[in-house]
Structure 1
Amino acid sequence: MTTSYAELKAQIAELEKQASQAREAEIANAKNQIREIMQAYSLTIADLAGPAKVSKPRKAVPAKYRDTSTGEEWTGRGRAPKWLDGKNRADYLIK
């Protein structure tokens, strides 16, 4: 005996409804367990996050090269600026 497409779709809809209900029940149970553990150990949400990561501010890198005609500077990091293309970098070193 074969099952029709409409019957299969109805079964899928019923199973999705059951799955949704089961998920909601499991989530409610998990929340209750978490709440009980947090109360037993006097934990807060902040305790769960752990210590905040403190990042140090980055220091500005001093310029290493300067175009004397325009005053533009370059740190020597990353792509070289257009004003330095084809030129001797040593001539533009900041002393």
Structure 2
Amino acid sequence: MPTYVEIMAQIEALQKQAEQIRRNEIDGVIAEIKQKIRDYDLTAADLGFVPAAQSQEVRPAQPSKRSTVKPKYKDPASGKTWTGRGVMPKWMKAAVEAGHVRDEFLIDAG
């Protein structure tokens, strides 16, 4: 009866052998797929790898659904603005750390 160490060595050897066989089979599969792509003139969009709008077909541009957000805060020194969304800009962070309050930088609505 084989020992534990011998069995583990056999497992390791079989895993290496299985990985080599897998790599060889993958090479064949890739070559076959590439040939089919050439034979049928398939694109990445045909295969579902990119949305159809990104394929080589020219399509009319769609209007953006994102709206522009008006700035809410303004740095009086530099004139830089911030909407109040996302990461706080360096100028605002420095002001807050210096003891200022965000509301001091609010842009007047009128």
Scaled to the shorter chain, the TM-score interval is 0.5 to 0.7
Residue 34 (structure 1) aligns with: 33
Q: In the aligned structure 2, how far is the partner of 1:64 from the partner of 1:28?
A: 57
How many corresponding residue pairs? 86
TM-score using structure 2 length: 0.47
Matched, 1:84 2:83: no
Moved more, 36-45 or 15-24: 36-45
- For the aligned residue pairs, the C-alpha RMSD in angstroms reads 4.1
SS across alignment from 2:109: coil
State how far apart, in whole Å, the 1-side matches of 2:9 and 2:109 are.
78
Task: Quote the offset at 1:8 in angstroms.
Answer: 1.6
Q: How does 1:1-80 map to 2 (within 5 A)?
A: 1=1, 3-45=2-44, 48=47, 49-50=49-50, 51=52, 52=54, 56=64, 59-64=67-72, 70=76, 75=83
- Decide which structure has the larger Cα Rg and report it: 1
Measure the CA separation in 2 of the matches of 1:24 and 1:65: 58
Q: Quote the sequence identity (%).
A: 36
Residue type at the aligned position of 2:34: R
| Higher RCO by CA contacts (8 Å cutoff, separation 6 or greater) | 1
Cα displacement string for residues 28-79 of structure 1 (whole angstroms, at most 9, x for unaligned residues): 2321331232122112457543332989495542235779xx4876646579
TM norm structure 1: 0.52
